[in-house]
Amino acid sequence: MENESHADGLLNDSSPTSTAHLHLDIIYIILSFLPRQELVRAMTTCHTLNNAGVRHLLNFDVHLYSARKIESFCAFMVAQAPLRYPLLHQLSLIGFDTPVSPESINQLVEILTHASRLETLCLSSYALLKSDHRLQAACSSLTSLKEFIISSNWEPVSWRNGSLYKIEDLTVAGVRWIQSELQFPRVRKLSLSGIDHPPLALIARNFPNLTDLTIIRDIDHLDVADHLNEADHQYRQLNRSVQLAGGGWKSLDRVAGKPVDLYRLGLTCQIHRVEISSVDRDTYRVVAHVLSDSRPSYVHIGLNSIFPCVRYIPDEVAARLTYLRCTINLTYFFEKSYPLDRFYLLLQCSPLTHFMLQFNADGRNTRGVMFIRQFRPELFASQIIASHPSIRYIFIKANRAKPLFWKPQFGDLAAKQSADIVSKSFD
C-alpha cells in the first residue's frame, strides 16, 4: 500500500516521526539539486526515491577506469533495460587495469547503441576499443554528442557520413585523423595536444566556425622549457603566409597554450582573450610576438617566477588591455628584488577594468615564502586604484590565504572576501 500511495504522487507517512508530506514532483526537484554522494544516499532509503533518482544520477559524469567499475555500471544499466539507456548523458572510458569480460563488452555495446541522449564521451582506452569492433561501431553511430574527448589513435569510420556533426567541443591528444579531411562545422571549442606542427590551413578548413582554441605540443612535458629551432620558425612563417593569403580564421574569442606553441602557430587574426601558461626564462621573450600578433584585450599569463616578462607586453597591446590576470609561481623564485613597480607601469598605460594577481609558493623556496610574508596586498591594491580610475575589480590571492577582492565605489576602497563574485567577474 505504501508504494501505491507513492504512485499517487504523495509521500505520506503516519508514523510519529513524520514531519512533512511532500508531493512527488517536489521530491524530483529536490533530488535534482543534490550532489552525487547525497543523491546516492537518498536513493538507498526507499524504492520510490531510488527510481526517482536514477534520472538525476545519470546526469553526472560516469567515470569508468577499471574492469570492476565497468562491470558494475553495466549491471546497473541493464537492471532496467532499456529504460535507463537514454538517461545517460556523460561517459568516460579510461585505461583499464585488467581485460573487460565478454559479457560486459556485450552490455556496453548495447548501452552505447541505445544511448540516444549521450552528450559527452571521453575515450582514452585504445585497448578497449580495439578489443571488439562493435564498440567502435557503437561509438561512431552516436548522433547526440556535443563534447568528444579522445586520446586514442582510433578513427571513427562513420564520421565521414556526418553522424557526429553535432559536436561543439572537441579535445584530441595525439590523434592522427585530425589531419584528415574530416569536417566539423559545429565545433566551437577545440583542444589539440601531442600533435607536432598541425597544418593550420587544414585545421581552419576542418573547423571553420571555431571560437576557442587550446594547443599544447607535448602534453607529457608541460613544465619542460621549450626551445625554438629552424623548423619552428619555418612553421610559423608558413602559417602567416596561409593567413595572408586568406586562410585561417577571421577572429577567435579565446586562444590558450604555452608561449612557444602559440608563437609557432603564428595566428594573426583578432583574438579577444589570450591565455599563456608556463612562461619562464627561456620562453618569456616570445610573449611579445604572440601578443602583438593577436592584439587581445584580455590576457591571462602564468609566470614561473619571472617578473620581467611583464615588460614584454607590447605598448600597442597594453593600450587596449582591459583584463589582466597573472598567476605567478614562486616555487622556483630566485629574484634578488621584487619589481612589482613594473605592474604599476603597465597599468598606467592600460585602460584596465579587471586585474587579478595570484601568487603560489611552498616551503621549498624560502625566498618565495619571504616574498609572500612581505607582500602587502591592501597597499598594492590601493596604489593601483588611486592611480588608475578605470579599474573596477581587483583580485589578489597570496598562496593559501583567503582571496581579497576590491571593487572601487565612489572613490572608496571596498574590500570583500568573495571568490564567487570574482570568478563571475573574471570568467
At 411 the pLDDT is: 45
For residue 161 the three cell numbers come to: 557520413
How many whole angstroms separate alpha carbon 325 and alpha carbon 400?
A: 18
Summarised one tens digit per residue, pLDDT across range 400-416 is 778 888 887 544 444 44
The full DSSP string for 367-404 is HHHHHHHH--HHHHHHHHHHH-TT--EEEEEETTSPPE
Query: 368 or 360: which carries more pLDDT confidence?
Result: 360
Summarised one tens digit per residue, pLDDT across range 186-207 is 999 999 888 778 888 888 998 9
Q: Report which of 152, 89, 153 is spatially closest to residue 121, judged by C-alpha positions.
A: 89
pLDDT-derived band at 176 (thresholds 50, 70, 90) equals low
Mean pLDDT of 59-82: 92
Determine phi and psi for 251, rounding to 5 degrees: -160, 160
Query: 218 or 157: which carries more pLDDT confidence?
Result: 218
At 405 the pLDDT is: 86
Q: Are 422 and 356 in contact (CB under 8 A)?
A: yes
CA distances from 305 to 40, 270, 328, 361, 403 (A): 44, 29, 6, 10, 20
Check pLDDT > 60 for residue 229.
yes
Summarised one tens digit per residue, pLDDT across range 76-112 is 999 988 899 999 999 999 877 678 899 999 999 999 9
- Return the bridge partners of 357, or none: 326, 396
Summarised one tens digit per residue, pLDDT across range 205-227 is 989 999 999 998 764 444 444 56
Above pLDDT 70, what percent of the chain?
A: 77
The structure's pTM equals 0.80
At 272 the pLDDT is: 95
